[in-house]
Structure 1
Amino acid sequence: MKNQNTKDKVFQMFTWTLTNFPSYVCQKEYLKTFTVDGYTWGIRIIRAATEKLYLSIILDSVSGWPPGCGKFANLKFILINQLNPTRNIIKGISHTTFNPRNDHSRAIYASADGFIVNDICIVELHISVYKSDHEKQGESLRNIDNKLVQNTEENFSTKKMISNSPGEVVDFRGIGKVEKDFIPLLEEVCSRYPSLIDSKKKNSKKFTEWAFTALGRVLYFLNIKKVRDMDDDACNHLQTLWEELEICGFDLSWLKPHVQSALDMKTCVEKVFNVKRWEENVITLENDVAVLEKEIKNLTTKMIEAKVNLEITRRDLVQAKEGFEECDLDAQLTYMVNHNS
């Protein structure tokens, strides 16, 4: 079990190794309980009696929860392929309120090998539990003065990221003060979606200011950023802003697709830069080939000239040998005629 707890959410990862999990056709049920954020949860896995592996994974709350209690959570179920992790099967349940009256399930159909090895099946559960509006409001009221627009990632580049330091604040529709840069954006969306204002009429002024500041930060991010800006840091920052906004209790169904699209731009940006890099590589190689072809052409010309000169020199050599008598270059020169009697 791994924990990654933060101020606003509790994250835990559980790995459940199911032993004596037969590979033959049968129907079995497995049950396990665990504790997250002080509450006991139960996970049931039901294997259907089918030839291929078919699982129903059910998460439900068990006894001991206070009446009327609910927990807002995101879930991810992962069926591990023990032979090839890249073939893991992932199913998720996002932005759902869990309570003792309901359970939530996902079906997993595994048609490939590797999910059952030596009668062992492995399932991971990732669960993020968020504080309720009531819990968050109480905490926000205590800390709003010095943490309203705190930088959540201190190492973000100020050139790339939106600064979270407070700017000039002005009144927004008489419900609270927010940063001046956010006002035009908030006016536009609140005129189109009046429920944004209506949903905060029963909240305190401080909480309302905090909520509309959180909304303004997301809108401002989407308004000033370009596709090319969506690198790892920008995506992580937007994800943080979005998670902070989600706990404010707004109906964000109209905004969620735009945020998701912006987060998905990381992949698009990577592809664009990859294509550009390959295009640059092609241009470089084409230039190299052109240079080599020119060198080959020059060398070919020089080779032809050398062959012509060789033939001319050979003809000159033949002409030079005409009427030529060989002589011993090492013979001794003399100055007298030797007379023998």
Structure 2
Amino acid sequence: MDNQQTSHLPNEKFTWRIDNFSKLTSKKLYSKTVIMGGYPWRILMFPKGNNGGYLSLYLDAADAQSLPAGWSRFARFSLAVINQVSAKYTVRKDTQHCFKSSEGDWGFTSFMPLGELYDPSKGYLVGDTCIINAEVSTLTSEKENQVDKASDPASLESGDQAGQMEVEIPQKDQKQGVKTSLSACVSLEPAEHRGTPSLPAGLISNPMDELSDFRGLGKIENAFVPLLEEVCSNHPSLLECQQKRSGRFIEWAFTALGRVLHFLKTKRVKDMNDETCEHLQILWEELETFRFDLTWLEPHVQSALGMRNYVQKAMQVKKLRDNVSALEMEMKRLKAKLAAAEIDLEIAKRDLVLAEEGFEERDLDAELGYVRPQTVR
């Protein structure tokens, strides 16, 4: 493995305030572009939802359209809708993603129910103002972030001014009194959102829920730790190949590996539809960026991805089997009904023979008439 220089930039935060939120008519909104970690980012929101009755929030690489093919940028980030009445009810979700040409934005299609967001009593809309918070930590390296830092962020900003955005520089810079305030803007785009697939709720795991130390290498989700322990015991090269990496890079690398392992451990064959296969493919591509020796794992991933066709075929076979069973049951029912009808026919014929004995048919339309009396002369 090549010795690659990597560095991790501290978390940077910014807040997007959106006034007259309930009166918005646009399908999707962009915040103003903000430079964090040397790269331009912005928040993408679907105030009425991108797919269903949920608010949709994404982090967008604002310079994605201007970068050359093959660029990539790895970031760990969180998005939050601030509860302005009680901070403990703030809705925050964390994830990480390798941004690239085909996936310039990433986040949560089902961030929170629209019913809760728009309910004035819940505290997310106060004075019809919604506050969105983002926290971004970017990994920089020679290959993970093939972007042009000299891009002019001013050329990426468009739209009308709509509120106030505050950018919080990391703590060490705040001690020097550095704080920047930028105005947020809303840009309207008629095109459908293409960068982020509409994944079902809960498909994106939250790496910040409950963390545990993994062999002194970093904080990893509790559910991933036993899986990582097992594979690292069987494949020591997983640990050896990360020895010259930074602490945060190692943490992200094993988190990405844990996600793939957890997916394979918890999903069943019946779960492998188009959406889950697409999600596994994304997790696998992100894991590959960390340059583990994954020759032992790739066959299992490819087998899992191939289950989509198997599941589709199995569903087709099951449907046809159920159809055949239903038709066979219908045939039995009709045969039983036919047998009962034949018996009824024989009984009816016997009753008819008995009824016809001694019976003389007459013209039912004939006149009854009467006998005239004879006249005496």
Q: 1:269 aligns with which of 302, 305, 311?
A: 311
Equivalences for residues 196-207 of structure 1 within 5 A: 196-207=238-249
Partner of 2:201: 157
For the pair 1:338 / 2:350, whether they are aligned, the reply is no
Residues 133 and 254 (structure 1), Cα distance of their counterparts in 2 relative to 1, 3 Å cut:
farther
How large is the RMSD of aligned CA atoms in angstroms? 3.3
Residues 241 and 37 (structure 1), Cα distance of their counterparts in 2 relative to 1, 3 Å cut:
closer
The CA deviation at 1:168 is: 1.5
Structure label with greater radius of gyration: 1
Partner of 1:136: 144
Contact kept? 2:212, 2:220, Cα under 8 Å: yes
The CA deviation at 1:177 is: 1.8
The CA deviation at 1:132 is: 10
Q: What amino acid is the match of 1:297?
A: A
Partner of 1:214: 256
Q: Deviations over 1:226-249 (max 9, x none)?
A: 111111111111011001000111
Q: 1:176 aligns with which of 218, 222, 243?
A: 218
The CA deviation at 1:333 is: 3.3
Partner of 1:246: 288
% identical equivalent positions: 41
Partner of 2:230: 188
Q: 1:233 aligns with which of 272, 275, 279?
A: 275
The CA deviation at 1:281 is: 1.4
| Bigger relative contact order (CA 8 A; separation at least 6) | 2
Partner of 2:209: 167
The CA deviation at 1:37 is: 4.4
Equivalences for residues 29-178 of structure 1 within 5 A: 36-37=69-70, 134-136=142-144, 155-158=199-202, 161=203, 163-178=205-220
The CA deviation at 1:135 is: 2.8
Contact kept? 2:272, 2:304, Cα under 8 Å: yes
Contact kept? 1:133, 1:249, Cα under 8 Å: no
Q: What amino acid is the match of 1:339?
A: V
Q: What amino acid is the match of 2:261?
A: L
Q: How far apart in 1 are the matches of 2:201 and 2:291? A: 30
> What secondary structure sits across from 1:163 in the alignment?
coil
Structure 2 unaligned segments of length 5 or more: list them: 1-59, 72-138, 148-169, 171-195
Q: Deviations over 1:169-222 (max 9, x none)?
A: 222112222112111111111111111111111111111111110001001111
For the pair 1:297 / 2:339, whether they are aligned, the reply is yes
Contact kept? 1:218, 1:242, Cα under 8 Å: yes
Partner of 1:24: none
The CA deviation at 1:157 is: 2.8
The CA deviation at 1:339 is: 2.7
Q: How far apart in 1 are the matches of 2:146 and 2:217? A: 19
Residues 174 and 138 (structure 1), Cα distance of their counterparts in 2 relative to 1, 3 Å cut:
farther
The CA deviation at 1:263 is: 0.6
The CA deviation at 1:299 is: 1.3
Q: How far apart in 1 are the matches of 2:216 and 2:207? A: 23
Partner of 1:97: none
Q: How far apart in 2 are the matches of 1:306 and 1:172? A: 86
Contact kept? 2:212, 2:219, Cα under 8 Å: yes
Q: Deviations over 1:77-136 (max 9, x none)?
A: xxxxxxxxxxxxxxxxxxxxxxxxxxxxxxxxxxxxxxxxxxxxxxxxxxxxxx996331
Contact kept? 1:217, 1:241, Cα under 8 Å: yes
Q: What amino acid is the match of 1:333?
A: V
Partner of 2:133: none
- Calculate the TM-score normalised by the size of structure 1: 0.51
> What secondary structure sits across from 1:331 in the alignment?
coil
Structure 1 unaligned segments of length 5 or more: list them: 1-5, 12-34, 39-130, 140-144, 146-151
> What secondary structure sits across from 1:181 in the alignment?
coil
The CA deviation at 1:156 is: 1.9
Identify the structure with the greater helix proportion.
1
Q: How far apart in 2 are the matches of 1:235 and 1:37? A: 23
Partner of 2:19: none
Q: What amino acid is the match of 2:374?
A: V
Greater Cα offset, 250-259 or 280-289:
280-289
Contact kept? 2:207, 2:220, Cα under 8 Å: no
The CA deviation at 1:277 is: 1.7
